[in-house]
């Protein structure tokens, strides 16, 4: 979650707490008024604002910043588990190893709010656990795809180094779905860490053949 999201979430929680405090205080006043007849009842025309200012402020903050509570549960969450609808070989086995193409599919509708600022891409690679996965080299990269409200297939042509791993029997591939800023190219990074430093978001990952 970005820093601005944390600030907005904290503000929403604070104003909700303030609203709860006001309701508690007014419940106490109402309880006293029910027992006494000499306690004046507040009839000011600003009574509504005095009671609901935290809620009004919270709604105003959401409208001003574009904060969307529903968006916290939107499928663009990196941990949703629903972004990558397929990952694996482009065509079913058996096929000549040298003709292998890898593919990640997703639905562009999940990323509609990013269509003017970013594009989609995918990478695949072998990972043997000898270093941080973010520093793994040998990424097999797709091209960059504009975001449209329909299924998108991100195809990767593999290099000879990858096909060599297949020939020796390796069968586990790591796939990543990337959200790439429009001013970033795939040639600008050779590892996921470099991609992140360039502003790329790692949206989801899965492992699987070939």
Residues paired with residue 154 on neighbouring β-strands, in sequence order = 104
Question: Other CB atoms closer than 10 Å to residue 158's CB: what's the count?
Answer: 22
Instruction: Based on the fold, state whether residues 67 and 89 are members of the same structural domain.
Output: no
Query: Is 91 inside any structural domain?
Result: yes
* Closest residue by Cα to residue 75 from 203, 182, 207, 206: 203
Cβ atoms 154, 96 nearer than 8 A: no
Query: Is 78 inside any structural domain?
Result: no
Domain boundary among 34, 50, 73: 73
Q: What is the pLDDT along the chain (210 residues), one digit of tens a residue?
A: 444 556 666 776 776 666 666 666 666 666 665 655 555 555 555 555 565 656 667 676 666 655 444 333 333 334 345 899 999 999 776 667 778 899 999 999 999 999 999 999 999 999 999 999 999 999 999 999 999 999 999 999 999 999 999 999 999 999 999 999 999 999 999 999 999 999 999 999 999 999
Domain boundary among 20, 49, 73: 73
Q: Quick one: 133 exposed, middle or buried, by C-beta within 10 A (0-12, 13-18, 19+)?
A: middle
Q: How far is 210 from 142, CA to CA, in rounded Å?
A: 16
Structural domain count, the chain: 2
Instruction: Based on the fold, state whether residues 32 and 117 are members of the same structural domain.
Output: no
CATH number of the domain to which 111 belongs:
2.60.40
Instruction: Based on the fold, state whether residues 129 and 195 are members of the same structural domain.
Output: yes
Instruction: Based on the fold, state whether residues 169 and 91 are members of the same structural domain.
Output: yes
Instruction: Based on the fold, state whether residues 94 and 167 are members of the same structural domain.
Output: yes
Query: Is 79 inside any structural domain?
Result: no
Domain that holds residue 23: 3-73
Instruction: Based on the fold, state whether residues 41 and 89 are members of the same structural domain.
Output: no
Query: Is 20 inside any structural domain?
Result: yes
Q: How far is 29 from 11, CA to CA, in rounded Å?
A: 27
Instruction: Based on the fold, state whether residues 118 and 195 are members of the same structural domain.
Output: yes
Domain boundary among 53, 73, 93: 73
Cβ atoms 41, 33 nearer than 8 A: yes
Query: Is 114 inside any structural domain?
Result: yes
pTM of the model: 0.63
Instruction: Based on the fold, state whether residues 35 and 113 are members of the same structural domain.
Output: no
Residues paired with residue 121 on neighbouring β-strands, in sequence order = 178
């Amino acid at each position: 979650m970005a820093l601005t999201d944390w600030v907005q979430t904290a503000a929403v929680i604070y104003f909700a707490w303030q609203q709860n405090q006001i309701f508690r205080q007014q419940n106490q006043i109402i309880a006293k008024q029910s027992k006494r007849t000499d306690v004046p009842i507040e009839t000011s025309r600003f009574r509504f604002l005095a009671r609901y200012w935290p809620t009004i402020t919270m709604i105003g903050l959401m409208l001003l910043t574009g904060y969307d509570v529903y968006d916290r549960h939107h499928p663009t969450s990196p941990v949703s588990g629903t972004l990558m609808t397929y990952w694996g070989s482009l065509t079913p086995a058996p096929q000549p190893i040298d003709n292998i193409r890898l593919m990640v599919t997703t639905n562009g509708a999940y990323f509609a709010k990013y269509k003017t600022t970013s594009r989609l891409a995918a990478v695949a690679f072998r990972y043997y656990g000898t270093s941080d996965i973010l520093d793994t080299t040998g990424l097999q990269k797709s091209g960059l795809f504009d975001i449209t409200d329909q299924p998108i297939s991100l195809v990767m042509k593999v290099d000879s180094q990858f096909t060599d791993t297949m020939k020796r029997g390796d069968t586990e591939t790591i796939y990543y779905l990337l959200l790439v800023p429009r001013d970033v190219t795939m040639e600008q990074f050779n590892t996921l860490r470099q991609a992140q430093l360039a502003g790329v978001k790692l949206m989801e990952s899965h492992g699987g053949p070939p």
